[in-house]
Structure 1
Amino acid sequence: MTLPLNPDMAATFPPPVMEARRWLDGVVFPADRPLINVSQAAPMDPPPPALRQALAEAALNEPAAHLYGPVLGLPALRAEVAAQWSAAYGGEIAATEVAITQGCNQAFCAILSTLARAGDEIILPTPWYFNHKMWLDMQGVGSVPLPTGPGLIPEAEAAERLITPRTRAIVLVTPNNPGGVEYPAEVLRAFFDLAKAKGIALIVDETYRDFDSRPDAPHDLFADPDWRGTLVHLYSFSKAYRLTGHRVGAIVADTARLAEVEKFLDTVAICPSQLGQIGALWGMLNLGQWVAGERAETLARRAALEAGFARLDGWELLGCGAFFAYVRHPYPIASPELARRLVQEAGVLLLPGTMFRPADDPAGDRELRIAFANIDSAGIGTLIDRLAAFKP
């Protein structure tokens, strides 16, 4: 007997990072050429010792850390996000306009569940973040691709032509995953004005905001007194504080929207991880200088990768920033095959561009994503050397 399977789930592609890891099965990497894994944008080191100590003390001494908490998150963490974001973006955000989630992926799923049902449409710039596409596919919600062109920056004018009566939101990721590019403030403003005029949501995923190269606020949308009812902001504490395993993310939206989000969160997880939230709050209060150092190191790695690609014949760096480089390769080989060969012949694991584009988009066959924040500048040099030595 075969149990029934939701056809929307069956039609959703497998998790790309897990698929890529299967390419390692049976491959032996010699000691003088260990694997360079640039497939996933996640810190490979644990949190700094002081944060680990704070987590340990909370686990030992705070009984509430092991119990259910508020569905929308710890009040102190919500208040701290509201205060720091208000200062950073030059606007006014209340603690009641912040919800804490089990990672930023859950934040996306939660907010989309309040906006769209099967048959509705969401506009996603391409190349897109594959988990966004996967969630929409699982829910039977249409993903409308918005091509971004050679600069990987979407245009509001092009998005407007894609809006239909079924459109519920436009999703932007900046700094971008997978492209790495930082969307200019005027681009975000144009999309906000478009979304507001059309009565749809603008979802801005700023998971990598702590690693933006610009010294000032990346946009002024929260300074607009009319941001509520249009703008939704998503964030992850995982990258800044190395809390990936604790799963802590955030949503900033108007209180009416968060009342609907609460239904989703209560049903799916009941509450976010208490220890993770304690760690995130401790980090926000104590690790400002440390995060600044992490940002400086990430920017240094970005510069090293940009310099490295300048000496690679035929390769083109399409976008670079935060944790990612998005590149075009010079070979007459489709990127999925090339990615597999790079594992076996160069000891490099990265993701093909086909994982970030619609199946019928030929651009993906020439593209690759490199999560360069996982390796230091010396490792980036080795990566460039291996790509230069690869012979198709």
Structure 2
Amino acid sequence: MTDNPIFAVAAKAEALRAQGADVISLAAGEPRAATSTVVVEAAVDALRDPATHHYGTAQGDPALRASVARTVAEETGLVWIADDVQIALGAKHALFLAAQALIEAGDEVLVTAPGWPGHAEVVTAAGGVAVPVATDEEFRISAEALDNCRTPRTRAVILSSPGNPTGAVHTDSRLQQIAEWAERHGIWVVSDNIYRAFDYTGTYRSILRVAPQLRGRTVVVSGVSKEHAMTGWRVGWLAAPPEIIASARLHVSRTITHVPTVNQRAALAALSDTGTPVRAARDYRRRRTLLVEALNGIDGINCPLPDGGMFAFPDVSGVLRDRGWTSSADLAAWLLDTARLAVVPGEAFNAPGRIRVCFAVDDETLITAIERLRTALGPTEHEAAAQQLEEAR
């Protein structure tokens, strides 16, 4: 197993910053805003409660599980109760718990390409084999593409909508086709809904909302990290059939014992704070437009407008060709060294020739980052002089 390449870029940016460099990082997939005061105060109150100073239950705080169950019920249109939920150390841990419950050594799990490397990582950590499935030109997977990658060892597919890094939101018809395919072949669906609050098209649906018959073979994964700016708090969950929850609970009991109780109290407060995700989505929508328009104004870059999420995922192959670079990793390294701007190369997501740029930052930071991009990737003095000469003719 290798380290997550996204963390490697972020760590290099932090190392440069520690040396005094003025580095802007648009690499890590996290909101730069502070966690809301409501959540922080709930955590402070929890710290003062002696009940949080002792062991809790492996499955998670009953009140938090009940709140998650209501959230998943609203999203899927199905009935969920607290017993259907396992609290985890973030959505990544929830994904791992799902994987280790579903697969045995050598079993295959289908993951999207381009896609977040963490999906493949949790499969590998659980002893399985991650099989990349190519997306279409809009970064969506299809039942046909899934079937082309299916083997007798295929056990599950991890579906993320909106996706990371692409922001793609799957349509109802596409979800229905995927559900029918999964049902026909006895494949489990792990639905990673961590970016569900950031849908800018109004088309996001949970696969269980579209195909409720898949309830018995679906694991819903999410958490408070993205929509409540709580990446450091590490609280996520999975909602699933009883046998998956039983396996996850046993694994938690035997390893971490339980998610810290104070953090769970904070997450419970977050789920009652409906305003923060709405405001974040409004701000991200505006920043998405600002960044994409700026990227498309740079020669050699073609950036689609993402349906959701918090990333732009431009094609930079024109820049690579013009500058003589062989990979987007070359571009990312050059931007960090020259412009003091951290982005993630597309190779991290099975997408050579692209970079991932996070727009979940404040306006001032994003505007400064855009100016650095324009300065770094604009025409050289020689090219500018040649262009002026051509225009004069």
Q: TM-score, normalised by structure 1?
A: 0.88
Paired position in structure 2 for 1:54: 42
2: distance between equivalents of 1:221 and 1:233? 9
Deviation at 1:268, TM superposition (A): 2.1
Specify the alignment match of 1:162 in structure 2. 149
2:330 corresponds to which residue? 337
Cα distance in 2 for residues equivalent to 1:371 and 1:211: 13
Q: Please point out which of 176, 188, 193 is paired with 1:206.
A: 193
Flag the 1:172–1:88 CA change in 2: closer, same or farther, 3 A. Answer: closer
Secondary structure of 2:133's aligned partner: strand
- 1:329-352 deviation line (CA, Å, top 9, x unaligned): 122321112111101111110111
Question: Residue 79 of structure 2 corresponds to which residue in structure 1?
Answer: 92
Give matches, 1:1-392, under 5 Å: 12-24=1-13, 27=16, 34-60=22-48, 62-215=49-202, 218-219=205-206, 221-222=208-209, 224-285=211-272, 287-318=273-304, 320=306, 321-329=308-316, 330=318, 331-332=320-321, 333=325, 334-357=327-350, 363-364=351-352, 366-373=353-360, 375-391=361-377
1:266 Cα deviation after fit? 1.3
Q: CA deviation at 1:327?
A: 1.4
Moved more, 45-54 or 103-112: 45-54
- Paired amino acid for 2:43: L
Q: Helix, strand or coil for the counterpart of 1:234? A: strand
**What's the TM-score once normalised by structure 2's chain length?**
0.88
Distance in 2, matches of 1:35 and 1:210, equals 29
CA contact (8 A) 2:292 2:305 kept: no
Alpha-carbon separation, structure 2, partners of 1:138 and 1:342:
32
Q: Secondary structure in 1 aligned to 2:214? A: coil
Deviation at 1:234, TM superposition (A): 0.5
| Cα distance between partner residues in 1 of 2:14 and 2:82 | 47
Unaligned runs of 5+ in 1: 1-11, 358-362
Q: How many residues align?
A: 371
1:43 deviates by 2.3
List gaps (5 residues or longer) in structure 2: 381-393
Task: State the 1:223 CA deviation.
Answer: 6.5
Deviation at 1:59, TM superposition (A): 0.4
For 1:52 and 1:83, the matched residues in 2 are separated by 23
Q: Which moved more, 1:260-269 or 1:12-21?
A: 12-21
Q: Residues 315 and 195 of structure 1: is their aligned pair in 2 closer, same or farther, counting only changes over 3 Å?
A: same
Residue 77 of structure 1: CA displacement? Answer: 1.2
- For residues 202-233 of structure 1, what are the alpha-carbon distances to aligned partners after superposition, in whole Å with 9 as ceiling and x for unaligned? 11101111112244652351475533321111
Residues 92 and 223, structure 1, Cα contact 8 Å, conserved in 2 = no
1:91–1:224 contact (8 Å) kept in structure 2: no
The RMSD of aligned alpha carbons is 2.3
Query: Aligned partners of 2:206, 2:114: CA distance in 1, in Å?
Result: 22
SS across alignment from 2:67: helix
Q: Deviations over 1:222-254 (max 9, x none)?
A: 475533321111102112222222210010111
What are the superposed Cα offsets for residues 296-344 of structure 1, whole Å, 9 maximum, x if unpaired? Answer: 1121111222222232222011462321111111223211121111011
Q: Is the 8 A contact 2:179 2:211 kept in 1?
A: no
Q: What code does the residue aligned with 1:178 have?
A: P
- CA distance in 2 between counterparts of 1:207 and 1:302 reads 18
Separation of aligned partners in 2, 1:65 and 1:36: 38
- C-alpha change, 1:265 and 1:173, in structure 2 (3 Å) is same
Asked whether the 8 Å contact 2:46–2:262 carries over to 1, the reply is yes
CA distance in 2, matches of 1:25, 1:216: 37
Equivalent residue number for residue 7 of structure 1: none
Question: How many angstroms does 1:380 deviate by?
Answer: 2.7
Q: Report if aligned partners of 1:89, 1:217 keep a CA contact under 8 Å in 2.
A: no
